[in-house]
Amino acid sequence: MTERNGLAVRLGRAAALSLIAGTVGGAAILAGQAIAARSRPYAQPELGLALRAAVGRAGAPALRLVLLGDSSALGVGVARLEETVGGQLAHLLAEGPTGRRVQLSSVGVSGSRSTDLATQVARALLGERPDVAVILIGANDATALARPADAAAYLGSAIRRLREAHVEVVVGTCPDLGAVRAVASPLRQVLAWSGRRIARAQISAVLDAGGTVVDLAAETGPVFRADAGTLCHDAYHPSADGYRVWAHALLPAVEAAATVAARHH
């Protein structure tokens, strides 16, 4: 299923199942907004984006960094590796006080939900073991109105498998879907509500599984709501500026995880 079609199905389901559509008129409004959202052209994964890259000076302390998750782990919405959240994180780590040589890779798949993480973990652990894994997941669970407990359980399982393989894990929770401009109100509020429920469940699951959590909605939501430039042309996926905001929010946790990983070498 393509990202556009998958999103369309999820938005339609959100409208159909919304608890706030208590009247025929409310349901009609939500249905109309879902149709409008489905008809929008959404950004697609850029085939030219490299899934593996080395960033930083040769001879610097090495750090193997892998991204797992949905379209945000791939960088849908931008055209260059340097503009993705992974690329920007790698450059920040390379240019930071420790000056690391980052071996960057991504096993994320556009449209993924938490149920898809098991396959991604298996791919991430092929070959050389990564030092740090960054997981960005939850938006598609929220738009599908998935049960938060179920989504959190799959996420927790993925983290435990990575931790058992001695990989440090940082999770960016479901972002603030109330900032998405591709969807009109009140459907946008429905998605925001669903996203908050997913994020709350994720926070508990990450901590229980031994990972580090970054609440992207709390830390970056106000910026995305205030600045339309944080979203790309489809008004749904982040732009290069949006991914930069996320990278800076994730950086302290990733730096700390990298320091812990270096001690274990």
Mean pLDDT value across the chain: 87
- Full-model pTM: 0.87
User: Looking at 110, 116, 234, 239, which residue is catalytic?
Assistant: 234
Position 21 confidence tier, pLDDT thresholds 50, 70, 90 = very low
For residue 71, indicate whether it is catalytic.
yes
Contact 158, 207 (CB under 8 A): no
Residue 141 bears catalytic tag: no
Q: Which residue of the set 71, 110, 114, 239 is catalytic?
A: 71
**Closest to 166 (Cα-Cα) out of 62, 64, 67:** 64
The reported pLDDT for the residue numbered 126 is 94
CATH class, range 52-262: alpha beta
Residues 70, 141, 194, 237: which is the catalytic one? 237
Catalytic annotation on 265? no
Are residues 129 and 64 in contact, defined by beta-carbon separation less than 8 angstroms? yes
Mean pLDDT, range 230-247, rounded to an integer: 96
